[in-house]
Every structure is written in structure tokens, then in C-alpha cells.
Structure 1
Amino acid sequence: MLEQLTPLILTYNEAPNIERTLKKLSWAKKIVVIDSYSTDETLEILSSYPQVEVFQRKFDSFASQCNYGLTKITSEWVLSLDADYILTDELIHQIQTLPVETDINSYSFRFKYCVFGKPLRGTLLPPRKVLYKKKKAIYQDDGHAHRVSVEGQSRLLSAYIHHDDRKPLNRWLWAQQRYMVIETKKLLETPNSELSLGDRIRKQKTLAPLVIFVYCLILKGGILDGWQGWYYTFQRVLAEVLLSLHLIEAEKLK
């Protein structure tokens, strides 16, 4: 199937990541990148890969960027990747063996989160639909994130993608600040009956950071990953603390 699909990647100042992602896509005849006017070396790196086609669009939402990207793809199948998603050799082989003619319209992939290049035993990242038929797909915003809705049957593949973000901590903090403003709005404006169990726990404010600490370190085995496991745990706890502070502020300022 590799010859029948086009990778789609969103970028904005992804110089620390994008080359490692592209090196695992050397088999692709064409790679579509939607760039939100990067100001670092991202465009220079992209230009060194002849199969990459870059389209720039002002960022308004992840879903809008992805839907715009789909209009630039001519192949039947799309491989939708973040700029810090690294395909493993096992996953590339598994995609290669998939039938092109099939009743399956999408495939979900599992993730291993990496800290400074080391894959962790556990992650909060759920499986995500990454490979799908273009004509069956549309993206929708979901809080600070986005998700693709694909008609028809889906299948979960056994191999993994590595989520390996090497951007500096200050960029992560900048992103989390933006994300938590959007997440706060989502949690406060969505009825509890429509929220997932995880989001209902997050809405309790003080409970979520404690749950995340135990979940990442103990239940997901982070304590066995050495300092990288502790780093990931502290990172996720800090994100939940930021969300809790935003929720408290929003409720007090009503």
C-alpha cells in the first residue's frame, strides 16, 4: 500500500523534529505539508526533500488545516502525521502488507511516547486513526486537539508510532497555555452527560493532577523508565495543574 498513499503533515516551527519524521518517509513519492508560516529553519529543512510539497496557510484550527491539506492530496489513501511522529520499521512493514482494495476505510495506530528519544512503557496517548481513505474522511476540532471522522469500517494495527517531540520546554509550556484555555472552554460549556469519564474527572480540578500522577507513574509503569518516566509524569501533572488553575479562574470570574 505504500505506493498508494500520501503523508500529510502540519508544521509550525518544527525544526527540532521534522527531519527525523521525514527520514522515515523516504519511500513516499509525495509528501504534503501544510505550514502555518514557520519562522525557524522548518522551511529550509523541508526544501531539502524533493518529494515534499509545502502549502502555507494561516492557522485558525487544527481541523481546518487538516481539511485544507486533504484538498491537496490526489491519492486514495492518506497517512496523517504530526511533525513529531516517527514511523517504526515494524509499522512501515505492516502498512506495506496492507491490501489496497479493501472494505476497511481507516486504520488506527498505537503510540509510544518518547522522552529525549527513549520510548516509554506507557502513555496517555490513545490509538488514533492515522491511515484512511481520503474521500471518507473529514476533520473536526475537539477541544484543543482535533480528530478525523471516517465513514465505514476501521481496524487497529499492532505496530507503533513513536511520538518524539524534541522542542524545548519553553515551547511546550507556551503550547500548554494555549491548549488549556481551549480545554477550559470545552469543559465548562459541555454538559457533564456529554463529557468522557476522563473529562469529568478533570473538571473536578483538584482530583485530576493526583490521578494523573498515580496513573502515569504506577499504572503505566513510568517508575520503571527511570528519570524519563518521572519527567513524563511531571510534565503531564503540570499540564493538569495548569488546566485546574484555568478552571478555577474561569469560575471565579463569572
Structure 2
Amino acid sequence: MTLYRPERGEYADFGHGHKLAIEGAVEDLRGTIDHDDRKSLRRWLVSQDKYIVREADHLLSMDPAKRTRIETLRAMAWPAPFAALFYTLIVKQCLFDGWPGWFYALQRTYAELLLCLEIVDRKLAARQRDTRPS
């Protein structure tokens, strides 16, 4: 949702992002709005730390039967970084956007790699707890 009356919208946390519930009718916008979220690489890297913890909490707390295909892939951990690189470079065609396209593809891949490491770390820690002698 992009344009709405604030008094008719309510946000709820959803992974590292938010979901917006709107009271009333929702329609498609006929025009375009460019989303320019450029920030320094340093700021982006710092923000990833909190995002991956929240996203891992979200993915691992979900009922596996209710996950989407993408959520299932991300919860599996290892395929997600490779899928992100393929998706951004090939499907979204960032490959043809020069350095800005590669920069975006590498950011998405790195973010998925961090999430993958967080999930694997949690799985290894759980396995270690489960195998400790009583």
C-alpha cells in the first residue's frame, strides 16, 4: 500500500517488515511511484543485523504447512542465497543494469546469506542442545 489515509491503516510486524491492514476499499494506482531507498552501504550493512534476527524468528516460528514456497526455501537456508542471486540477475534482469544491477543483486544475495547463516546457526545450536548428555 502506498497512498492511504493514516487513520484507516494499521501496521503489524511481519518478519523484518510490516503488513498493512487497510479499513475500506483498496484500488490500484494508475500512475507510478518510484521508491528510492538509497542509503550508504555502511548503514545498509548495520540494518541487516536486526533484520536477519527478526526474519529468522518469523520463518522458524511459522507453521511449515502455512509457509509460501519462498518462505519454505528461505527456511531451508542453503538454497536461498543462490536463488536470490539467480532471481535478481536473471529473472529481474539486473544483469543488464551494469554496476547498479550487480550492486543490488549482491546486496540481496548477501542478505539471504546472512539469513542462511542465522538459521543454520540456530539449527546447529538446537541440535547441540538435543544431543547433550543429561
Q: TM-score, normalised by structure 1?
A: 0.47
Matches within 5 A, 1:178-217: 178-217=50-89
- Structure with higher strand content: 1
Which residue number corresponds to residue 91 of structure 1?
Answer: none
Matches within 5 A, 1:150-165: 150-165=22-37
Whole-Å Cα distance in 2 between the matches of residues 228 and 243 of structure 1?
23
Whole-Å Cα distance in 2 between the matches of residues 213 and 159 of structure 1?
30
Measure how far apart 1:215 and its partner are.
0.9
Measure how far apart 1:246 and its partner are.
0.1
Which residue number corresponds to residue 247 of structure 1?
Answer: 119
Overall identity of the aligned pairs, in %: 37
Whole-Å Cα distance in 2 between the matches of residues 217 and 160 of structure 1?
23
Whole-Å Cα distance in 2 between the matches of residues 182 and 164 of structure 1?
23
Measure how far apart 1:181 and its partner are.
0.5
**What are the Cα deviations for residues 210-235 of structure 1, in whole angstroms up to 9, with x where unaligned?**
11111111111111111111111001
Aligned Cα RMSD in Å?
A: 1.4
Whole-Å Cα distance in 2 between the matches of residues 161 and 214 of structure 1?
26
Which residue number corresponds to residue 168 of structure 1?
Answer: 40
Matches within 5 A, 1:5-44: none
Which residue number corresponds to residue 237 of structure 1?
Answer: 109
Whole-Å Cα distance in 2 between the matches of residues 245 and 158 of structure 1?
41
The count of aligned residue pairs is: 126
Bigger mean CA deviation after superposition, 241-250 or 148-157: 148-157
Which residue number corresponds to residue 49 of structure 1?
Answer: none
Structure 1 residue aligned with 2:95, among 216, 219, 223?
223
Whole-Å Cα distance in 2 between the matches of residues 238 and 134 of structure 1?
34
Distance 1:200 1:152, change over 3 A: same
Question: Secondary structure, in 3 states, of the residue corresponding to 2:76?
Answer: coil
Measure how far apart 1:180 and its partner are.
0.2
**What are the Cα deviations for residues 142-181 of structure 1, in whole angstroms up to 9, with x where unaligned?**
1111121013321121433222233221111110111000
Unpaired runs of 5+ residues, structure 2, are 127-134
Distance 1:210 1:158, change over 3 A: farther
Question: Secondary structure, in 3 states, of the residue corresponding to 2:89?
Answer: helix
Q: TM-score, normalised by structure 2?
A: 0.86
Unpaired runs of 5+ residues, structure 1, are 1-128
Whole-Å Cα distance in 1 between the matches of residues 16 and 94 of structure 2?
25
- Structure with higher helix content: 2
Matches within 5 A, 1:35-114: none
Measure how far apart 1:196 and its partner are.
2.0
Whole-Å Cα distance in 2 between the matches of residues 228 and 134 of structure 1?
34
